[in-house]
Amino acid sequence: MGMRPNYHISPKHGFLNDPNGLAQFQGKYHVFYQWLPDVVPQGNKIWRHCVSEDLIHWSDQGCGLKPEEWYEKNGCYSGSGITEGDSYYLFYTGNVRDSEGGRETYQCLASSSDGVNFHKEGPVVYLPEGYTPHFRDPKVWKKNGRWWMVVGAQTKELKGNVALFVSDDLKKWQWKGNMLDSSMDWGYMCECPDLADMGERQFLIVSRQKEDGCKGMVFAGIMDYEQGRFHISEDTGVLLDEGFDFYAPQTFTDESGRRLLMGWIGAGEIEYQMSQPTVKEGWLHVLTIPREVYVKNDRLYQKPAEELKHLRKNEESICGTGEIAIDRHSKCMEILAEGLENQTITFDFGKVIKFLYKKESGNLLVFRKKWNGEGYDEKEIHLDKLEDFRIYLDQSTAEIFLNQGEKVLTMKSYFTEDTLIHMNSELQIKVKTWLLEEED
């Protein structure tokens, strides 16, 4: 089966990027993603549609939105989904390019009564004064009986910000202004904005483009709906995911009230993306597993959705000190290590993913083997302590959750036939592994 993952959403062929339109409608989970039929990162983007009843088995529904109208003729760009009564609404950016490279963008609406067929209702937000056409990725939610929309923006001063709108009927929108403090450094563009309202605390998620790269950030604060401003708490801007490959996350609230998140395991410069081995198989990139986000210690934590436990089979458990070696002969598994406090820990999976936690410094050094075989990519992450980690491996991806999701690392990892797990600890630790359900 090559490098295609088993339980992550991936395209049958072509290029995948941002998750779009996430919602639960009439009991089913809906995920769209940006898609091109060929393995190229640029083109007239389509919304590909997937549906699931359990968040782990996904059915491809084909193209949900295709660029067919004048206001979207060069692509149906990213956006969000909401449900209200018997209707499912999609908000997205219509992209228009002229022969000289000029751009127009429109925030558009499509609606459905069955979650399958969507009727396009055209643009509902036009570009306000003060912004360049880099104005995209509408995210909509309901608060205090009104509808709110954030749009990723670049001002005429070529500074990133987030535009805020309000509506009473989803069709007529009033611009409220910039939601963010313009004196802060938001880079040159804010993409895929999202506001996760977690009760007394709100969290702004934004994919910030700066000269040093594109990163998904999360900021804790308070949303002032009267003034239309998001007031950021001091020193709260952190990476939502500290891995090598993560961008464009989006959250939604399901029918049980959980706030779930999915992101794109991709991004990076075009050369980096096109160097990946799956290009030869005719497809590129995947989405993350569904994650539940929750608040702990005034921070936003992430954990795998509970439904993923249903993929488990053939549990094995080992307790030990010093050298531990486990080989499940699989590249599709879950690994849980507990009891790691107050010690230096090393971990190695197949000589492709390695990390070292140093108790003296609190630094976690992460290594991911480069797919051309020449050395390792490296990251250094600080933790006050390391208590546990949980890893989801799926053929060519790895998602690592540290300390019940205090920090998360997502990465492409093209595993070899070597599936040996090797750990070294100073004190006794407990390691559980599960094989995860594989397709026939």
**Residues classed as catalytic:** 18
Q: Residue 361 gets which letter from DSSP?
A: T
Q: Which of 334, 345, 274 is nearest to 305 (CA)?
A: 334
CA 422, chain centre distance (Å): 29
d(CA 320, CA 378): 28
Q: Which of 156, 151, 150, 108 is nearest to 132 (CA)?
A: 156
Query: What ranges make up the beta strands (E) of 144-289?
Result: 146-155, 160-167, 173-178, 189-197, 202-210, 213-224, 229-232, 238-239, 247-253, 259-265, 283-284, 286-287
Q: Is 271 helix (H, G, I), strand (E, B) or coil?
A: helix
Dihedral angle, C-alpha 77, 81, 86, 87, nearest 10 °? -30
Please answer whether residues 90 and 81 qualify as being in contact, where contact means their C-beta atoms are separated by less than 8 angstroms: yes
d(CA 392, CA 312): 11
Please answer whether residues 196 and 148 qualify as being in contact, where contact means their C-beta atoms are separated by less than 8 angstroms: no
Q: Residues near 85 by Cβ (< 8 Å), separated by ≥ 6?
A: none
Token pair for 277: 């081995």
Please answer whether residues 39 and 14 qualify as being in contact, where contact means their C-beta atoms are separated by less than 8 angstroms: yes
Q: How far apart are the first and last CA of the chain?
A: 10
Task: List, in sequence order, every residue forming a beta bridge with 287; answer none if it has no partner.
Answer: 264
Token pair for 39: 């393995």
d(CA 103, CA 74): 10
Residue type, 4: R
Alpha helix stretches (DSSP H) within 56-215: none
